Amino acid sequence: MSDGYIVEMSNITKTFPGVRALDNVSFHLKAGQVMALLGENGAGKSTLMKILSGVYTRDSGSMKIFGKDIEGDLNPKSAAELGVAIIHQELNMCNHLTVAENIFLGKELHHRGLLNKKEMMDRANAILQKLKIDIKADAVVGSLAVGQQQMVEIAKALESDAKVLIMDEPTSALTSKEIEELFRIIREVKADGCGVVYISHRLEELQHIVDEVTIMRDGKYITEGIFKSIPMNEIISNMVGREIKEQFPTIDIERGELALQVKNLNAGRLVRDVNFEAYRGEILGIAGLMGAGRTETTRAIFGVDPKTSGEIILDGKSLTINKPMDAIRAGIVLAPEDRKHDGLCVKLSIRENIALANLDQICSKGGLVNRNKERTIVEKAVSDLEIKLPNAEVNASNLSGGNQQKVVVAKWLANNSKVIIFDEPTRGIDVAAKVEIYNIMNELKREGIVVIFVSSELPEILGISDRIIVMCDGKVTGSLITKDTNQEEILSYATRFEKKID
């Protein structure tokens, strides 16, 4: 191995129909090193790592893993045998199986022709214990929190002796506690001599975990170096290709009239007597820890989940919302958190996804689609948010993660809505696109639309909202004016659990 590299990728090129995803990219990783792989949405990070882990094959270029030339194509199995494991951007667990079954999925242990369940259970428990992960191997994965599922993915990778561990946006759905836990495990893995590739759009977390960075832009290698020696604004400008002046742009306008009132809303277990108000021309942040009931509240307002009681009043008029169509007709829309399940039809094209949300404008009364109108709306949405795609006919599933998220946001913008609820709109989105989304929220605010902004990232919620309500365990525990509050105060409301009697 030259210079202690365990991965050497040189001049890697990969083309998808209409897209050159990778153009002569180089990438290097050493043992015991955490390398951040950074770049905007669609830069090619996931594609490069999918090539390293055998999910995709390269068109050209050379690869060495542990000094061994990889002549032909890898597949996931042969890559795993070489010690490369990847934890994908979207988790890939079988929810109905146990932790042990997931860990040994595809490499089940046998004894005399039968599954050796006991040994799999024992070995799964052993690796969980080694990593000090407090999960039992016989737990059903579907019953675990996302953060715990992520830990199981890591345990799975390490059980198969991975020496190169690729994590594609591991923290995008984790609570701050879970992130700390993840970092602890990464440090242990690193101390064991494993090389870790760390992909993330949460730039503020890099300082806690990363040794070096490799930066890509538009499918090309840009630069690499020691993280601490490159100032953050330089990292950002290398990713984006220009300066970003204001990470949290705001506009100062006078708040308008009271528009939305949510009264004594109850739904399921996580929406308990929720009350709040929102005004025209303001961005109302909803903060809270994962599982606080924020998403459930937005779903109940939008009519996705049934309410058990409560009233939703818009401009003084009490609304009957039993399904999303009722909400959309009344002028309330939701850009949901889970883009894969709720936000997008991944099997449809981008054009169809955007058009579906705007049928009222695109269709004539007789139901005929006005193609010109459709094209105008779709083109505007794509250019407003700078969604990177070869053309609007590609399936949503082929876009990079962040660009999918932009489509979720974009599709509602052409709609004449009065209230737009954004649930974690910037999750997985790069730094430049975040600013674009904040600018869009500001524009909506200027137009007098009520913007509701659910986010788990305190810096952005403090940076963008005018007021913030905080939820904990299904209840609103605090209502704060942004300029008079700070992270600590929000966190104290976010952890205000009622004492429970078992």
Ligand X SMILES: Nc1ncnc2c1ncn2[C@@H]1O[C@H](COP(=O)(O)OP(=O)(O)OP(=O)(O)O)[C@@H](O)[C@H]1O
- Alpha-carbon distance of 468 to 463, in angstroms, equals 11
Residue 53 C-beta: closest distance to ligand X, Å: 13
Using the minimum distance from each CB to ligand X, give the nearer residue, 39 or 281: 39
Using the minimum distance from each CB to ligand X, give the nearer residue, 165 or 270: 165
Using the minimum distance from each CB to Mg ion, give the nearer residue, 25 or 304: 25
Cβ atoms of 25 and 48 closer than 8 Å: yes
Q: Which stretch binds Mg ion (CB under 5 A): 39-47, 242-250, 315-323, 339-347?
A: 39-47
Q: In terms of Cα–Cα distance, which of 150, 160, 141 is closest to 76? A: 160
- 44 makes contact, choosing from ligand X, Mg ion, none, with CB < 5 to 8 Å by partner type, with ligand X
- 402 makes contact, choosing from Mg ion, ligand X, none, with CB < 5 to 8 Å by partner type, with ligand X
- Alpha-carbon distance of 453 to 294, in angstroms, equals 10
- 21 makes contact, choosing from Mg ion, ligand X, none, with CB < 5 to 8 Å by partner type, with ligand X
Using the minimum distance from each CB to ligand X, give the nearer residue, 89 or 349: 89
- Alpha-carbon distance of 384 to 413, in angstroms, equals 10
Could you tell me the two tokens for 126? 């052993």
Residue 150 C-beta: closest distance to ligand X, Å: 17
Round the CA-based radius of gyration of the chain to a whole number and report it. 24
Residue 103, amino acid: I
Cβ atoms of 264 and 297 closer than 8 Å: no
Residue 50 C-beta: closest distance to Mg ion, Å: 9
Q: Write down the residue that tokens 């009239």 correspond to.
A: 257
Using the minimum distance from each CB to Mg ion, give the nearer residue, 401 or 463: 401
Residue 400 C-beta: closest distance to ligand X, Å: 3
Residue 90 C-beta: closest distance to Mg ion, Å: 10
Does residue 358 interact with Mg ion by CB under 5 A?
Answer: no
Angle CA 459–462–468, to nearest 5: 135
- Chain centroid offset of residue 380 CA: 24
10 Å CB burial of residue 440 (0-12, 13-18, 19+) is buried
- 298 makes contact, choosing from Mg ion, ligand X, none, with CB < 5 to 8 Å by partner type, with none
- Alpha-carbon distance of 128 to 119, in angstroms, equals 14
Using the minimum distance from each CB to Mg ion, give the nearer residue, 147 or 401: 401
Residue 393 C-beta: closest distance to Mg ion, Å: 21
Q: In terms of Cα–Cα distance, which of 248, 164, 236 is closest to 198? A: 164
Using the minimum distance from each CB to Mg ion, give the nearer residue, 200 or 349: 200
- From residue 310 to residue 349, the character string flagging contacts with Mg ion as x (rule: CB under 5 A) and all else as - is ----------------------------------------
Residue 421 C-beta: closest distance to ligand X, Å: 23
Residues in Cβ contact with 400 at an 8 Å cutoff, skipping those fewer than 6 apart: 41, 42, 43, 46, 388
DSSP calls for 187-241: HHHHHTT-EEEEE-S-GGGGGGT-SEEEEEETTEEEEEEEGGGS-HHHHHHHHHS
Task: Name residues contacting Mg ion, limited to 385-404 (CB under 5 A).
Answer: 401
Using the minimum distance from each CB to Mg ion, give the nearer residue, 170 or 303: 170
Please state whether 307 falls in left (phi above 0), alpha (psi between -120 and 50) or beta.
beta
Using the minimum distance from each CB to ligand X, give the nearer residue, 13 or 116: 13
Residue 100 C-beta: closest distance to ligand X, Å: 30
Using the minimum distance from each CB to ligand X, give the nearer residue, 201 or 299: 201
Using the minimum distance from each CB to ligand X, give the nearer residue, 43 or 437: 43
Task: Name residues contacting Mg ion, limited to 262-301 (CB under 5 A).
Answer: none
Name the site residues for ligand X (rule: CB under 6 A): 16, 19, 21, 39, 41-47, 89, 388, 398-403, 430
Residue 399 C-beta: closest distance to ligand X, Å: 5
Could you tell me the two tokens for 259? 């528009």
Does residue 46 interact with Mg ion by CB under 5 A?
Answer: yes
- 195 makes contact, choosing from Mg ion, ligand X, none, with CB < 5 to 8 Å by partner type, with none
DSSP calls for 362-381: HB-TTS-B-HHHHHHHHHHH
Q: Write down the residue that tokens 């829309």 correspond to.
A: 333
- 149 makes contact, choosing from ligand X, Mg ion, none, with CB < 5 to 8 Å by partner type, with none
Nearest residue to Mg ion on Cβ basis = 46
Residue 401 C-beta: closest distance to ligand X, Å: 4
Q: How far is CA 221 from CA 12, 48, 62, 142, 203, in A?
A: 10, 11, 15, 38, 19
Q: In terms of Cα–Cα distance, which of 342, 298, 352, 317 is closest to 471? A: 298
Does residue 465 interact with Mg ion by CB under 5 A?
Answer: no
Residue 111 C-beta: closest distance to ligand X, Å: 39
Residue 46 C-beta: closest distance to Mg ion, Å: 3
Residue 273, amino acid: D
- 86 makes contact, choosing from Mg ion, ligand X, none, with CB < 5 to 8 Å by partner type, with none
The stretches of 303-430 forming alpha helices (DSSP H) are 324-330, 350-356, 359-362, 371-384, 401-413
Using the minimum distance from each CB to ligand X, give the nearer residue, 9 or 452: 9
Residues in touch with Mg ion (CB under 5 A): 46, 401
